[in-house]
Amino acid sequence: MIYLDNCATTKPKESVVKAMVEALEKDFYNPSSLHIAAVEVEKKKEAIRKNIKDYFHCSGELYFTSGATESNNTAINSAILEGKRFGNNVVTTNIEHPSILNVLKAQDVEVRYVPIDSTGHVSKERVVEAIDENTMLLSLFHVNNELGTINPVEEWVPEIKEKFPRIKVHIDGVQAVGKLPVDFDKIGCDSYSFSGHKFHGPKGIGGLLVRKPMTPYFYGGGQEMGFRSGTENTPGIYGLGAAFDALKEEGICLDEARERWQFLKEGVESIGDVVINSIEPASPYIVNVSIDDTRGEVLLHMLEEKEIYISTSSACSSHRTGKNPILTALGIKDSLAQGTIRICLSRDTTMEELEEFIEELKTAVADVRDIMRR
């Protein structure tokens, strides 16, 4: 089996599974209870929180959430609730994740969408042009989930905050954590979201890093420092802690990742009549490619017969109907857009796997084109 859908989810590490089993079988106590067994679980939970904050160089706070969708919704709703005292508009891009775009559509605020250029990148100048004294929130991706393009937020955010000191800045970091170095304090944003299952941690657990306490979005027993009430997901938190321990031990292996990324792009380009939509600066873990005279979904199912797994788009967008808005924003013609696939690597992906994938993809493309070009 060759798994190349790592943007959708990753395989949990053995250490992650082991930590979760420990929480389920041994440390099953409610950390809010007062007896000594529960107090020990509470101590472990807080030690994990501190370790994760240290990983991000975060001098603010970390709230555990159910994942990035909750983190994004919470950050945006809280920022708008607080920001309406002085602002009436929000700035974002037109290729954000649905958990950003859809929550903004539900708000009674003006949303200004900064378009991407023909390479899939966002211009800092166009972002700044969209902001004014009434802008309460700027929400940007760190790494785009479909194209892999990178916003250099460490450069942009401090400049934007200096020019517009009242604005809140939220960064969706889901596809960046575990792939790129992330320094929360250096970025200087007000909130930063991530999800454990994107970097070999468990599903159902993520986090929201915040500069200062935010307006609560969940109310109840006052867990998570009063920000997110509800009994804590200790198995998920234990697993998340193990995933970050692995990241600290292994480090960010960008050179090896870029080597695999370049090899994959060159192999796919050798097929002919293809357009690589992932253009640097981009994550070395995502290759989005449009292959002329094919159908992405047909290629996906042909490859799965060989136990090779890819995707045609973000898993969170796989049920949408109509044109892919990101490919439309890129200006990709319909006939080419229909043949788009997304290949997502992990640090466990090998060159041998990529070689086999490229050969099988060439065969699948040739078979489809043989029919479509008659």
- Domain boundary residue, one of 181, 216, 250: 250
Cα four-point dihedral sign 127, 151, 245, 3: positive
| Together in a domain, 291 and 176 | no
Helix (DSSP H) and strand (DSSP E) numbers for the chain: 13, 12
The pairing of beta strand 340-344 with beta strand 274-276? unpaired
Cα four-point dihedral sign 159, 162, 166, 171: positive
Q: Examine residue 4 and state whether it is found in any structural domain, yes or no.
A: no
CATH number of 30's domain:
3.40.640.10
Q: Examine residue 8 and state whether it is found in any structural domain, yes or no.
A: no
100 contacts 138 by C-beta, under 8 angstroms: no
Q: Which of 7, 58, 253, 316 is catalytic?
A: 316
| Together in a domain, 26 and 168 | yes
- Expressed as residue numbers, the domain containing 338 is 253-373
d(CA 241, CA 51): 8
| Together in a domain, 151 and 285 | no
- Domain boundary residue, one of 209, 228, 250: 250
Contacts of 125 (CB under 8 A, 6+ apart): none
| Together in a domain, 216 and 331 | no
Contacts of 163 (CB under 8 A, 6+ apart): 128, 131
- Domain boundary residue, one of 199, 234, 250: 250
| Together in a domain, 222 and 277 | no
| Together in a domain, 318 and 233 | no
CATH number of 360's domain:
3.90.1150.10
Contacts of 374 (CB under 8 A, 6+ apart): none
Would you call 316 a catalytic residue per the annotation? yes
| Together in a domain, 88 and 74 | yes
pLDDT of residue 315: 45
Contacts of 15 (CB under 8 A, 6+ apart): 242, 245, 246
Q: Say how many C-beta atoms besides its own lie within 10 A of residue 351's C-beta.
A: 12
Q: How many domains does the chain have?
A: 2
Q: Examine residue 2 and state whether it is found in any structural domain, yes or no.
A: no
Q: Quick one: the chain helix, strand, coil %, rounded to 5?
A: 45, 15, 40
| Together in a domain, 291 and 179 | no
Annotate 105-148 with DSSP letters as a single string.
Answer: HTSSSEEEEEPP-TTS---HHHHHHH--TTEEEEEEESB-TTT-
pLDDT of residue 314: 47
| Together in a domain, 274 and 321 | yes
pLDDT of residue 262: 97
pLDDT of residue 319: 52
| Together in a domain, 231 and 257 | no
| Together in a domain, 103 and 199 | yes
d(CA 11, CA 199): 8
Among the listed residues 354, 339, 146, 349, the one whose alpha carbon sits nearest the alpha carbon of residue 265:
354
Whole-model pTM: value is 0.95
pLDDT of residue 322: 63
pLDDT of residue 311: 97
Question: Before 216, cis peptide (omega within 30)?
Answer: no
Tens of each residue's pLDDT in the chain, 374 residues: 999 999 999 999 999 999 999 999 999 999 999 999 999 999 999 999 999 999 999 999 999 999 999 999 999 999 999 999 889 999 999 999 999 999 999 999 999 999 999 899 999 999 999 999 999 999 999 999 999 999 999 999 999 999 999 999 999 999 999 999 999 999 999 999 999 999 999 999 999 999 999 888 778 888 888 788 889 999 999 999 999 999 999 999 899 999 999 999 999 999 999 999 999 999 999 999 999 999 999 999 999 999 999 999 744 455 555 678 889 888 898 889 999 999 999 999 999 999 999 999 999 999 999 999 88
Q: Say how many C-beta atoms besides its own lie within 10 A of residue 161's C-beta.
A: 18
| Together in a domain, 280 and 216 | no
Annotate 216-281 with DSSP letters as a single string.
Answer: -SB-SS-TGGGTB-S---HHHHHHHHHHHHHHHHH---HHHHHHHHHHHHHHHHTTSSEEE---SS
